[in-house]
Amino acid sequence: MLLQRVGLGFLTTDKFGLSVAMISLVVAATWQMSGYVMALYLAGLRGIPEELREAARVDGASEVQIYRYVVLPLLRPITLGAVIILGHISLKIYDLVVAMTGPGIGFSTDVPAFFMWETTFHSNRFAQGASIAIILLIMVAVLIVPYLYSSTRREIAA
């Protein structure tokens, strides 16, 4: 109602089904995890030998080509690891939802971990909460097991 009075009524309904509260949670989670991802990429960039860049310069590559054909392909495992870790964290996010919105907004900011907590401890349905936790475990396993399988397969082949 307040948004409509100031001429921002289009923010109250979203075409993608996301509420303003969920969008604010996504922005806050992105801000919260950006430092972690930056540290991963910094470690990855420092792990790239300078000799590879020098060899590309000797071959006549520009700085853009060095980043496109040398640096970015070498950062692909870092990117995959970051996506998997962030996907795992996004499934388990609970603290940010409670800190920002609490239980008072209805279902607009329900995430699986928050739903599991509410079902288990506030509704006293422990069996249903345990089944939600197992589904969460399976979802995390679907994200992580293929990555672990491919990385161990590459280590065995090397």
Q: Residue-wise pLDDT tens for the chain (158 aa)?
A: 566 677 666 556 555 556 778 888 889 999 999 999 999 999 999 999 999 999 999 999 999 999 999 999 999 889 888 988 888 888 788 888 888 887 656 677 778 888 898 899 989 999 999 999 999 889 888 878 887 787 788 778 76
What's the predicted TM-score (pTM) here? 0.69
Three-class SS state of 50: helix
Domains and CATH numbers, the chain: 2-157 (1.10.3720.10)
φ and ψ of 5, to 5 deg = -65, -35
What are the structure tokens assigned to 46, written together? 């420092």
pLDDT recorded at residue 9? 64
What are the structure tokens assigned to 58, written together? 């000797």
DSSP state for residue 48 in the 8-state scheme: S
Listed in sequence order, the DSSP H helices in 11-125 are 20-46, 50-58, 63-66, 72-74, 76-92, 95-100, 112-117
What is the rounded CA–CA span in Å between residue 86 and residue 20? 22
